[in-house]
Amino acid sequence: MALNFSNKQFPPVTILMEVHWYAAYKLSYRDIEELLAERGVQVDHATIHRWVLEYALHLEAAFRNSKKRAVSGSWRMDEIYIKVKGRWYYLYRAVDKYGDTIDFMLTEKRDEAAARSFFDKAIGQYGLPDKVVIDKSGSNAAALDSLNWQIWFAGIIGGFIEELQVKYLNNIVEQSHRVVKWKMRTALGFKSIEGGEASIAVVELWQSFVFSLDGAD
C-alpha cells in the first residue's frame, strides 16, 4: 500500500524526515519542532505527532512485508509495562537469538489470551518457531501449551514448539526493551493507545532497519 501524502502542506521528504528523527533519537515532538525552527521550518509539534500517528504503522508494515526477511527459529519473548494515559499496559515483544525484532503487541491485559494473541500474530508473519524462551510467566507457558495442542491436533509434523525458561537466554530481549523504554520516558508516557502503538512501531522499524544494515555487512 502506497503512502498517501496528498493535501499535505509539506513535501513527503520533510514528513518522513521528522518521523525518522522521532524514531531514531531521544527527541520529543517539541524537540523536533525546535530543531526545525532553527532551520527556518515552522511545524507545530502537534502536526509532527499526527504524522507519526498517520504513517508509523504503515511504514512498519511496509518494511516487514517488502523484506519478508528470515528470522531465527529460536525466539526470545518477554513483556514490559508501558504507561498510556496514566495507566499501565503491557507490551509483548519477541526477538530472535540474534536480537532482530520479530513482533510486538500492546495490550491492556497480561494473561493467557493476550499471550496467545501475540504468538498468533508473530507466527502469522514468520511461521512456527523451533523454540521459544520465556520468563516464568504462567500465562506465556499456558499460551504455548495451547498452541502445541493445536499443532498436535492438526497433525503438523515437526511443528511442536520447544519451551525454555532460561534466564540468561532471555537477556537479549530484556536488553532490547531499553529503546522502547527511553521513548516512553521521552514522551512522559503515551497519551493514547494509538500514539503508543505508533511510537513503538517507528522505534521497532528503525531498529529493524539498522539491524538489516548491520546484517548486510
The grid coordinates listed for 164 are 525454555
Residues 51 and 144 in one domain: no
Closest CA to 148 of 40, 140, 204, 64: 140
Exposed, middle or buried: residue 155 (CB in 10 Å: 0-12, 13-18, 19+)?
exposed
pLDDT of residue 133: 93
Residues 22 and 99 in one domain: no
Q: Is residue 2 part of a domain?
A: no
CATH number of the domain that residue 114 is part of = 3.30.420.10
Residues 30 and 96 in one domain: no
- What backbone phi and psi angles, to 5 degrees, belong to 158? 70, 15
Which residue type, as a one-letter code, is found at position 7?
N
Residues 143 and 204 in one domain: no
Residues 179 and 195 in one domain: no
For each of the chain's 217 residues, which pLDDT tens digit applies?
567 888 888 888 889 888 888 888 888 889 999 999 999 999 999 999 889 888 887 787 776 666 556 788 999 999 988 888 888 899 999 999 888 888 889 999 999 999 999 999 999 988 999 999 998 889 999 999 999 999 988 888 778 999 998 877 777 777 767 777 777 777 666 788 888 888 888 887 777 655 555 554 4
pLDDT of residue 215: 52
pLDDT of residue 117: 96
- Rounded to two decimals, the pTM is 0.76
Residues 17 and 56 in one domain: yes
pLDDT of residue 114: 96
Number of structural domains the chain divides into: 2
pLDDT of residue 116: 97
Q: Is residue 202 part of a domain?
A: yes
pLDDT of residue 2: 66
Residues 156 and 196 in one domain: no
Residues 182 and 79 in one domain: yes
* Angle, CA 63 vertex, CA 159 and CA 113 arms, to 5°: 45
Closest CA to 24 of 175, 213, 182, 177: 182
Residues 200 and 179 in one domain: no
Burial 38-70, CB ≥16 within 10 A → b, else e: eeeeebeeebbbebbebbbbebbeebbeeeeee
Domain that holds residue 43: 7-68+191-217
- Residue in the block written with cell 498436535: 152
pLDDT of residue 69: 60
pLDDT of residue 181: 75
pLDDT of residue 200: 82
Residues 98 and 168 in one domain: yes
Residues 182 and 78 in one domain: yes
Residues 141 and 92 in one domain: yes
DSSP string, the chain: -----TT-SS-HHHHHHHHHHHHHSS--HHHHHHHHHHTT----HHHHHHHHHHHHHHHHHHHHHHH-----SEEEEEEEEEEETTEEEEEEEEEETT--EEEEEEES--SHHHHHHHHHHHHHHH---SEEE--S-HHHHHHHHHHHHHHHHHT-TT-PPEEE--GGGGHHHHHHHHHHHHHHHHTTSBSSHHHHHHHHHHHHHHHHHHHHHHHH-
